[in-house]
Chains A and B, each alone.
Chain A
Amino acid sequence: MKSAGRRAALTAGLALGSLLLSACVTGGGGGGDTSTKAPGGKVSGKITFQTWNLKNDKFTSYFNGLIAAFEKAHPGTDIKWVDQPAEGYQDKLSADAAAGSLPDVVDMGPEAAYTLAQAGVLLDLGKADPKAKGKYLDKAWEAMTFDGLGGGTYGYPWYLNTGPSFFNKALFKKCGLNPDKLPVTYAELFDQAETMAEKCSDTMMIARMPAIETFGEYGVPLMDGRGEKFTYNDAKGVEYVERFRKLYAKKGMDEEALNNLQTKEVEEFKAGRLAYLPGSSYTLDDLKATAPEVYKNLGIGPRINNSAPNMYIESLVVNAGSKNQSLALAFAKYVTDSTNQLAFAKKASVFPSSAGTLDDAYFTKDDGDPATKVRLESTAQVKKAVVWWPPAFSGAADSQTLREQIAQALLGKKSVKKALDDSVKYSNERLDANK
């Protein structure tokens, strides 16, 4: 999933969650540790807090409550909440950063934070607030710590998302596969996809090209040890893409699939033409509501991987040029503290990144409901998961180039090795250009 797509998936999921999920909601925000102390100064003044696609019927009351509680606990503070549509959010951030008008606290993924941190726009929280590290899951803190930028940490981890693999068992039966033996590794997935291609010409197992995070799940080393060069063109990377090439040659993927984005993949699964869908925590309810026929034959398994499952992370960054930096730090830390993360996770069907919050009964107690089962399995997956997406793989252009190069390899226009070499060269050039 490309970065824009990743953002769209996270925010669309939040919006979707707002429509589909209501049973597990436990009131608005504002119950966190409002006495949060800023690491370096008086908490007062006015700041702007930027989110994306969160001002709606579902989340507005949560954030208003959250902000009101903070302002009440810190007299003399004023938090201005700004929310914008998530489409093209990198362009909006670009414009703000270039104009020097980035809000004080911004909801952001690591790939956007990396480039802004590289330009010196974001505050290094590892230096400004070193004690914060212990309040978050180690892997979440590490995901916002950028080796390629000297090991600085540029965002308070906020919410996490991952999900299981969904399968259409009816298609498994129709195409001569055993629906009780769903694939767990990539080797099994490709083998079964090839069998499906042989038996059914109108059905596909896979309908989307590999993305950078799936290279990580396959076990491909994505960057060098210092986080300064991409390395996914190594032998393991070639092996991974070769499986796609072989599948395409056997007509297990059509030409349209070489250009599909995530939305198209979901559409195909809902239409009953696709047998496998890597999902998120929102997918089950979405399928239940919009594709009841597919839902009836749904098989759910762990996220397919050879190393560790992937998860996505969202963070709150602090503008290095904020005039009220102490207030910005205090507020960002307050929004991402354990109590508020738990409340938000319940409301949005995501997972908290604060230390210990995943031990809450909400994530551990099974009540027999299928949605709870998926949540519990996803929680177990979060504990093993890795944020595979390298933050330095920043722009949408990197993802587009990777997809295009692999498509050219599958079409036989160049070898897989050459395609990956060209993609790595392009991404390294962009990375170097921004140093």
Chain B
Amino acid sequence: MTIEARPGTPLKRGGGRPSRRGGTVLATHRWILTPWLFLLPGLTVIVLMVMVPFANTLGLAFTDSTLLRQGQYVGWENFHRMFADERFTTALLNSTLYTVCVVPCMVVLPLILATLVSGAGRLSGFFRTTMYLPVVMSPVVVGLIWTNMLDKRGLVNALFDTLHLVTEPVPFLSDRWLLLFSAMFVTVWTGLGYYMVIYLAALANIDQSLYDAAAMDGAGVVRTFLNVTVPGVRSTMTLIAVLSSVAAFRVFGEIYVLTGGTGGVGGGDLTMTMLIQREGTGLQARTGYAGAISLFMFVVLGALLLVQLAVQRRQRSS
């Protein structure tokens, strides 16, 4: 016997009419409650850990509150201060640049890597594992490794010196732009393996006959990649673009560790998240101001996501 449940239809046992007696009514209520009960744990976490803090941040953004003082409504004052704050301009520029540079690398490089290691060759497993290793390493450990490598007296400068490529050490960790690009390199190095695994799953779904047909048509490696592989993983590329752009705009760990927690020389490498952390923590935290910066960041990321989703929709419809 099949028990069929459709929305709006009480569950019928044995095919009989629903009884008006209490037991069946209770069963009906149970049926309505069941999905909500399943949702309850997750919903509770989301409401308490995401929605309530978000609503709180929204409220704080329009007050002059500090950590230990409630504060009063100040309208748009925090936002006026934010746009006049030179650190905000620096942080916005750095986070935007980070996103612009890192996202294309995160979308393209892991795909190329995944294509190279997707076969069943002997060494494929080894390379897949090796490339995934940075993903499982602690961000702080990764940061410390690269700090030592890129230091004025680190391995990279020692190598350059040995090869007589430089006369003075390259200031990877003290020049504003070099530090920012070094951090981008670390982000890409760490993220390659993660996105490669996502692409490997997508590649497995591409019909082998498409590759066979391309080979019969005489398509080379590049043409096959562009005309078969890329269209086959296009939706995955959009997903990775969304995920990596959100992560890149929120960059914190890499720069924090590479600058020793300082934001670089003269604060030149501050990012949005670092600015929020600086204003929103400590005994004198200006939680209202930090809330305003957080809200601005939310709006920027929201807009970014909407644009990417629109692009995805257009791709699907075409």
Q: B64, B264, B285: which has the most chain A beta carbons within 10 Å?
A: B285
Chain B residue nearest to A260 in the complex (CB):
B260
Q: Which of A94, A259, A398, A400 has the most CB of B within 10 A?
A: A259
Task: Tell me, rounded to whole Å, the shortest Cβ–Cβ distance linking A433 to chain B.
Answer: 5
Q: Quick check: is A116 within 8 A (CB to CB) of the other chain? A: yes
B268-309 to A contact mask, C-beta < 8 Å, 1/0: 000000000011011111100000000000000000000000
Chain A nearest Cβ from B291, distance in angstroms: 13
Interface size counted on chain B using CB atoms at 8 A: 27
> B16-24, B53-61, B66-74, B199-207: which lies at the A interface?
B66-74
Closest Cβ neighbor of A393 among chain B residues: B284
Residue in A closest to B86 when the chains form the complex, CB atoms: A422
* CB <8 Å contact, B266 and A394: no
Binding-face segment, B126-134, B167-175, B224-232, B235-243: B167-175
Complex contacts, A94 vs chain B, CB 8 Å: 67-68, 281-283, 285
A132 at interface, CB cutoff 8 A: no
Chain A residues with Cβ below 8 Å from B281 are 91, 94
Contact B265 A411 (CB under 8 A): yes
Which of chain B's residues have a CB closer than 8 A to the CB of A413? Answer: 266
Is B187 on the interface with A (CB-CB < 8 A)?
no
B266 x A258 contact (CB < 8 A): yes
Partner of A408, one of B152, B266, B284, B286: B266
B262 at the interface (CB under 8 A from A): yes
Q: Which residues of A contact B283 (CB under 8 A)?
A: 90, 93-94, 97, 112, 115-116, 394-395
Please give, as numbers and ranges, the residues of chain B lying within 8 Å of A431 by CB-CB distance.
284
Find out whether the CB atom of A256 lies under 8 angstroms from the CB atom of B171: yes
B267 interfacial contact with A, CB 8 Å: yes
Beyond A397-B278, A397-B282, is A259–B262 a contact (Cβ under 8 Å)? yes
- Chain B residue at minimal CB-CB distance from A120: B68
Instruction: Tell me the residues in window 241-272 of chain B with beta carbons closer than 8 Å to chain A beta carbons.
Output: 259-260, 262-267
In the complex, which of the residues B67, B174, B263 contacts A258, with contact meaning CB atoms closer than 8 Å? B174
* Pair B66/A434 contact, Cβ less than 8 Å: yes
* Chain B residue nearest to A119 in the complex (CB): B68
On whether the beta carbons of A97 and B263 are closer than 8 Å, the reply is no
A255-B68 CB under 8 A given contacts A394-B283, A394-B284, A430-B286: no
From A255, A261, A398, A411, residue with most partner B Cβ within 10 Å:
A255
Residues in chain A within 8 A of chain B (CB atoms): 90-91, 93-94, 97-98, 112, 115-116, 118-119, 121, 254-256, 258-259, 261, 264, 394-398, 400-401, 403-405, 407-408, 411, 413, 422, 430-431, 433-434
19 residue pairs A–B, Cβ–Cβ below 8 Å: A90-B282, A97-B68, A118-B68, A121-B68, A254-B174, A256-B171, A258-B174, A259-B264, A261-B260, A264-B260, A394-B283, A394-B284, A395-B283, A397-B282, A397-B284, A404-B267, A407-B266, A411-B266, A431-B284
The list of the 3 closest CB pairs from A to B, nearest first, reads A119-B68, A404-B267, A407-B266
Given A119-B69, A413-B266, 17 further pairs, Cβ under 8 A: A91-B282, A93-B283, A94-B285, A97-B67, A98-B67, A115-B68, A115-B283, A116-B68, A254-B174, A256-B171, A394-B283, A395-B282, A400-B267, A401-B267, A404-B262, A411-B266, A433-B284
